[in-house]
Each structure stands twice: as C-alpha cells, then as structure tokens.
Amino acid sequence: MPLFALVDCNNFYVSCERVFNPKLAGKPVIVLGNNDGIVVARSNEAKALGIPMGAPAFKYRDLIRQHDIQVFSSNYALYGDMSQRVMETLQQFSPELEVYSIDEAFLNLSGFTHTNLTDYGRTIRSTVRQWTGLPVSVGIAETKTLAKIANHVAKKADGAFDLSVWQDRDSLLAGVPVEEVWGIGPNHARRLKLYGITTALGLRGADDHWIRKQMGVVGLRTVQELRGISCLALEQCPPPKQGITCSRAFGKPITTLTEMREAVAAYTARAAEKLRGEQLAASVLTVFLTTNPFKDDPQYSNTLTLRLPVATDATPELLRVALQGIEAIYRDEYRYKKAGVMLLGLVPVGQVQANLFDHADRERSKRLMKAVDSMNVRYGADTVRCAASGLTQHWRTKFTKRSSGYTTDWHELPLVHVN
C-alpha cells in the first residue's frame, strides 16, 4: 500500500522570526508581503485576534496598536535558508521527498508498515524542531490528498496524525469542508455546494460520471484519492516551467514613463537571468501594469503580449521588446502600483528554431550574457546591469520592518549576550 506523509511548517514565516527572536514567543506576530502591503503569515495569537490572511495591513492599524501585535516585513533570504534546512533534515526520514512549497514536503513512507507511523511522525516533528527550531505538523495517509487532510487534523492534535489506521474515517471526512480538500478551488467548491456536496465525505461519494463531467479528469482523480486510491505520485523533479515572471509592487507609486521604463527594464533583466539559469529561451513576452485597487485614485491596468521573431535568452533583445510593449500601454495621469514581465513559450536553448531573416550575432550575445551573469553572482546582484534599468531606482520594493539576515549575512548574525 502506498503511504505518504505531508510535513507542513506551522505559521512558517512567523516561526522563522521566533527562532532568532525568542521574545516573540506567545505574542501575536504577523509578517507582511512586499512593500509591507498585505498579511502573509500570522501566529496563532494573531489569528485568534481576527486578522485574516491576505488582509491589507493598513486596515488593521488600530488592532495592531491595541494588542501590540509584532509586525515584520518579509525576510525571504532567511525563510529560504530555513526552508532548505527543513528539507535537508527531512531527507533522513525517507528515501523519496517532494519539496511541494517553501514550507511543505511530501515523504514517501510506502513500505514503512512495520513501524508505528504516528510515532514516526512524532520523531520527524521533534527532530525538525530540534535541528531547526521550527514547529511542523505531520499528516500520514495512503494518498497525497488524504495526507493533506491528515495534516489539518495533526495541526489541531499533537502534531502527528496517521489517517491510514484511523477507525472512524467517515465522520472525520464529514468534518472537512469541501473547499478545504486539496485541488478543489473556490469555483468548484461553489458549484459542488449547489448540488449539496459540502464536505470531503460528500465528494468521496459522488458519482464518477457526474464528477468527470463537472470537473474533468483532474476532479475525478481528487475523488479517487479521497477513496484511498493513490493517483498522484511524488514529483521529485519539478515539472518544466511554463513561464517565468518577474513582477513587484513599487515602493512608491510610479507617475512617469521614465521611471516605468526603468522598473520594467530591471524586471526584464531579472527574468532573463532566471531564464538563462534554467537553460531556456523565451518566444513570447508579456508586459503589464496596474494602479492600486485599494486607493480611491483613477484606476487603469493593461497587458500586452508580444511575440519575439526568434526565441531568445539575451537581455538586450528581451529588453527592446519589453520597453516597446510598456510604452504602448503606458498612460499618463495615473499612479501605478505594480508592473511586471512574463516570459512565455519557453524552449530549451538547444532547440531554438532559427529564422531565415535573423541577423543577430547569437554567439557574441551568448558570451556577453555569460560574463554579465557570472559577475553578478560573484560581486552581488545588479553589479552589472543595463543602463535602461536606471541608477537610483526610487521605485524599489520597500521592506521597512525586515529582521536581520541571521543565517545569510556575516554582518547580521544573531547576537548572544554573555553577561
């Protein structure tokens, strides 16, 4: 019988902050996303105070002051490093591991039937806690979809739960709202509820033909997984990328075309760097911009997709197209909050179709890009960059309450006072 464990870090970003700042224990803590805009992580204490996920922070200013809620900007360098430590620690517990997100991993526990898996889950939990300081929950079941549900139960119980040996599975599934089932989005959930399917138990009992008609093969797979039939295997190699996006909200609104060009140029350069890192070339480029929907300002947003004559990974070529695109959709008199670049139609560099009318010197451009990338790796990001991306960059993303690079910067190591 296949068996999976889903290991999920509890309130991951908040927990990372607490490892290095023990004073935060027991206090309400929230972490904000880019530009300190919306709430992206909450401690249990902050959840209890009624701060929702994704809430714009400014709407909760009074509550934050009233309860002395500790507020942090995202410290992605720290979270990324801590995530790697968790994944590395988990590797000793299973030969197969799928890193599902920054704070979640599936382990293959098939064949571990001789052990008490609840105890095994507790060992995983206490080991990760000791090695990294982070609390995790472990849910175990015969399918990935059920392991997700087991993980929800584990979070409320003592941190580890094995659904595969649980006697009263039906009443457990009856307590899981259908929208909490893995893979059921808000649209499907709404439709299912119209037909009286409101829980995981209801979904499990649905008719195969009807599900297939309503939700396709993917939906049917979810239902099978709820029945304990494993349809989703571990994905150890990430699937090939569909697209590469670089988009950020600006630190302060952009109101001139010059600044907008700089921002888009910087994002294009970053996206192109990622593209080359994956040995891919892009044949389609999309640019977009938008004003701030939370403000009373006049609203405008637009997107433009452009096709490149030949798939390329060279920054100058992508830049030319991106700037042409942003100029076409930029309108004066708006205060822009966000812009971005998406590279699509990705093909491996070796498989680029040549174009009869293509006169670019691709060998030379390849050497140039290699030199630029290696200098930026060696001397720090953005050491060498295109002049189009500007020198001052007033629009850069703000992180005003970011904690230190405790594990990623020699100058910001945790301080211990020995007095």
Partner 1 sequence: MTTKVVVVSAPDLSTAFKLPIFLERVPAGFPSPAGDYMEGKLDLNQHLVKHPAATFFVRVTGDSMIEKGIHSGDLLIVDRSLDPKDGSIVIVVLDGEHTVKQLEKRKGKLRLLSANKNYEPMEVSERQSFEIWGVVTNVIHPL
| Contacting positions for partner 1 (CB under 8 A) | 22-23, 25, 84-86, 88-89, 130-133, 406-407, 410, 413-419
Q: CB 13 → partner 1: shortest distance, Å? A: 18
DSSP sequence for 232-291:
-----SPPPPS-EEEEEEEEEEE-SHHHHHHHHHHHHHHHHHHHHHTTEEEEEEEEEEEE
Q: Which is nearer to partner 1, 123 or 198 (CB)?
A: 123
Token reading at 291: 């004003």
Alpha carbons 195 and 187: distance in angstroms, whole number = 13
Q: Which is nearer to partner 1, 230 or 407 (CB)?
A: 407
Q: Which is nearer to partner 1, 12 or 250 (CB)?
A: 12
Sheet hosting strand 280-291, strand order edge to edge: 244-254, 336-348, 280-291, 301-312
Cβ(173)–Cβ(143) under 8 Å? no
Q: Which is nearer to partner 1, 167 or 419 (CB)?
A: 419
Contacts of 157 (CB under 8 A, 6+ apart): none
Q: Is 323 exposed, middle or buried (0-12, 13-18, 19+ CB in 10 A)?
A: middle
Which stretches of 285-361 are DSSP H helices? 315-329
From the list 114, 84, 116, 81, the residue with the least C-alpha distance to 97 is 84
Q: CB 133 → partner 1: shortest distance, Å? A: 7
Q: Which is nearer to partner 1, 128 or 146 (CB)?
A: 128
Q: Which is nearer to partner 1, 302 or 404 (CB)?
A: 404
Q: CB 88 → partner 1: shortest distance, Å? A: 4
Q: CB 130 → partner 1: shortest distance, Å? A: 6
How many CA atoms are closer than 13 Å to the CA of 311, on its beta-carbon side?
A: 19
Q: CB 67 → partner 1: shortest distance, Å? A: 18
Contacts of 337 (CB under 8 A, 6+ apart): 249, 250, 253, 290, 291, 292, 295
Distances (CA, A) of 71 to 17, 24, 409, 415: 11, 11, 22, 21
What are the CB-based long-range contacts (under 8 Å, 24+) for 257-261?
A: 257/327, 257/330, 257/332, 259/390, 259/394, 259/395, 260/289, 260/326, 260/330, 260/336, 260/339, 261/323, 261/326, 261/327, 261/388
- Give CA angle at 145 (142, 148), nearest 5°: 95
Q: Which is nearer to partner 1, 14 or 369 (CB)?
A: 14
Q: Which is nearer to partner 1, 91 or 279 (CB)?
A: 91
Q: Which is nearer to partner 1, 156 or 378 (CB)?
A: 378
Q: Which is nearer to partner 1, 306 or 413 (CB)?
A: 413
Q: CB 75 → partner 1: shortest distance, Å? A: 15
Q: CB 87 → partner 1: shortest distance, Å? A: 8
Q: CB 78 → partner 1: shortest distance, Å? A: 12
Q: CB 155 → partner 1: shortest distance, Å? A: 22
Cβ(339)–Cβ(288) under 8 Å? yes
Q: CB 7 → partner 1: shortest distance, Å? A: 14
